């Protein structure tokens, strides 16, 4: 059957995110492959040195992924069975899984509905004699109040393990996240602002901690002389390869341009969404936008919270209809205590009601450096159109 000439071709699909690797990066990966040294070696050393310079000279070690990075941060801080770690229920489940993984207990504190990060005002009430650390997450790249975070840590003598997986390039009072503080963990997973395909890095306080982290990432091994070795701690296999490291070296060069583009797109969203809602006569809808922070956030994601109580459809239906219009969206994240494993371990979703509500209604809209300007207004119009069709009477 001949194609119907009267229908306009569908607009290209916009995924919620897409990594960007240029030809020079692809060439550099090929060179590593041809060199004969493909796993952890000179490129890893170069990447770690570049990262250390980026973070103002603090020691940095890389790992196979962000999850391994956080696990090793907990091990470096000697957190294990009997210890409690305070964290947020709105994160990628890796955050609390690694706490369980080392045998410690995650303690979930509810989030601030505006920042969607852990509500630091509620942390003190969750501290017990077993509390050893706070593990905040900077959702979508927006940091918490770092002065308040480190004041709490000091007051209660706690370690801080920052899950800054989404916050590479974010700042606090003009200082890069990672350039100060205690243990700061980043992810270089494919969707993150700086990607090595998979990978992660940990910023540490001193060389002793860095050496301990090196042991944990490779079987707990210490080399003694030319032929000697010893195993002093129980380590795993969490090293980053030169193939990944060389990608990271190239991504670092592009980071300022990526960052500028993300910020420009986020600014467009703040204008386009209210405009599209006005045009659709749905200005009264309580659609919650992100915090309009252009000095500190790296705009890892642009998220809205759907006004589900004003709509007669679920978030899933909104996502389906946006997908039909060629727009990819994501959920980052459901409240962790809704997961079966956490339910079995006795966590109650009702204990963190704000996280429960936001976890059900949060929606990630497309945001990545390769997006076109036109995409933002197209997405805003599509969103307003879908919401308008599903207003509760
Ligand atoms: C991506 C991410 C992680 C885990 O990183 P991986 O590299 O995927 O292991 C942890 N926490 C948060 C908040 C993340 O976004």
H or E segment at 231? strand 228-231
Choosing from 62, 161, 163 the residue with most ligand 1 atoms within 8 A of its CB, the one to mutate for a pocket test is 163
Low-confidence ranges of the chain (pLDDT < 50): 1
Q: Which two tokens stand for residue 20?
A: 């960007």
Q: Which of 192, 215, 323, 381 is catalytic?
A: 192
CA distance 345 to 73: 24
Cβ–ligand 1 distance for 200 under 6 Å, the answer yes
pLDDT at residue 1, rounded to an integer: 47
Choosing from 16, 63, 66, 333 the residue with most ligand 1 atoms within 8 A of its CB, the one to mutate for a pocket test is 66
Position in ligand 1 atom list of the atom nearest CA 166: 15
| Residue spans per domain, the chain | 23-248, 255-388
Could you tell me the pTM of the whole model? 0.96
Q: Given the DSSP bridges, would you call strands 200-203 and 60-63 parallel, antiparallel or unpaired?
A: antiparallel
Cβ–ligand 1 distance for 67 under 6 Å, the answer yes
Cβ–ligand 1 distance for 87 under 6 Å, the answer no
Cβ–ligand 1 distance for 163 under 6 Å, the answer yes
Choosing from 19, 64, 67 the residue with most ligand 1 atoms within 8 A of its CB, the one to mutate for a pocket test is 67
Active site residue 192: yes
Give the residue, by CA position, lying nearest to ligand 1 atom 5: 66
Class of domain 255-388: alpha beta
Position in ligand 1 atom list of the atom nearest CA 70: 10
Give the residue, by CA position, lying nearest to ligand 1 atom 2: 165
Cβ–ligand 1 distance for 325 under 6 Å, the answer no
Angle at which helix 242-279 crosses helix 42-54, to 10 degrees, equals: 50
H or E segment at 223? strand 221-224
- Give the full edge-to-edge strand order of the sheet including 131-135: 60-63, 200-203, 183-187, 159-163, 131-135, 84-87, 105-108
Position in ligand 1 atom list of the atom nearest CA 91: 13
Measure Cα distances from 34 to 28, 29, 31, 37, 44 in Å: 10, 9, 5, 8, 16
Report how far ligand 1's centroid is from the alpha carbon of 29 (Å).
24
CB 248 within 8 A of CB 239: no
Give the architecture (CATH level 2) of 23-248. 3-Layer(aba) Sandwich (3.40)
H or E segment at 69? helix 66-76
């Amino acid at each position: 059957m001949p194609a119907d000439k009267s229908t306009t071709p569908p607009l290209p699909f916009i995924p919620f995110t897409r990594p960007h690797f240029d030809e020079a990066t692809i060439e550099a990966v090929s060179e590593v492959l041809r060199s004969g040294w493909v796993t952890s070696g000179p490129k890893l050393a170069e990447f770690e040195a570049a990262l250390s310079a980026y973070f103002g000279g603090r020691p940095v070690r890389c790992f196979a992924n962000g999850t391994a990075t956080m696990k090793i941060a907990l091990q470096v801080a000697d957190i294990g069975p009997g210890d409690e770690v305070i964290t947020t229920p709105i994160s990628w489940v890796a955050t609390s899984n690694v706490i369980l993984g080392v045998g410690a207990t995650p303690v979930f504190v509810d989030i601030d509905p505006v920042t969607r990060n852990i509500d630091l005002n509620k942390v003190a009430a969750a501290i017990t004699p077993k509390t050893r650390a706070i593990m905040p997450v900077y959702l979508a790249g927006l940091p918490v109040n770092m002065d308040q975070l480190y004041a709490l840590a000091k007051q209660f003598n706690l370690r801080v393990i920052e899950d800054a997986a989404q916050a590479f390039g974010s700042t606090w009072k003009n200082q890069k996240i990672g350039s100060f503080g205690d243990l700061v963990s980043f992810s270089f997973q494919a969707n993150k602002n700086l990607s090595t395909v998979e990978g992660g890095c940990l910023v540490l306080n001193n060389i002793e901690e860095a050496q301990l982290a090196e042991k944990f990432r490779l079987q707990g091994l210490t080399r003694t002389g030319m032929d000697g070795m010893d195993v002093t701690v129980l380590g795993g296999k969490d090293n980053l390869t030169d193939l990944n490291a060389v990608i990271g070296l190239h991504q670092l060069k592009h980071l300022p341009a990526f960052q500028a583009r993300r910020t420009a797109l986020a600014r467009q969203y703040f204008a386009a969404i209210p405009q599209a809602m006005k045009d659709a006569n749905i200005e009264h809808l309580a659609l919650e936008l992100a915090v309009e922070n252009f000095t500190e956030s790296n705009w890892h994601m642009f998220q809205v919270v759907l006004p589900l109580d004003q709509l007669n459809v679920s978030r899933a239906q909104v996502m389906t209809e946006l997908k039909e219009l060629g727009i990819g969206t994501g959920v980052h994240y459901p409240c962790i205590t809704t997961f079966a494993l956490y339910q079995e371990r006795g966590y109650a979703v009702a204990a963190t009601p704000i996280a429960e509500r936001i976890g059900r209604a949060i929606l990630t809209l497309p945001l990545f450096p390769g997006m076109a300007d036109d995409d933002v207004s197209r997405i805003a119009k599509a969103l307003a159109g879908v919401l308008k069709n599903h207003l509760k009477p």
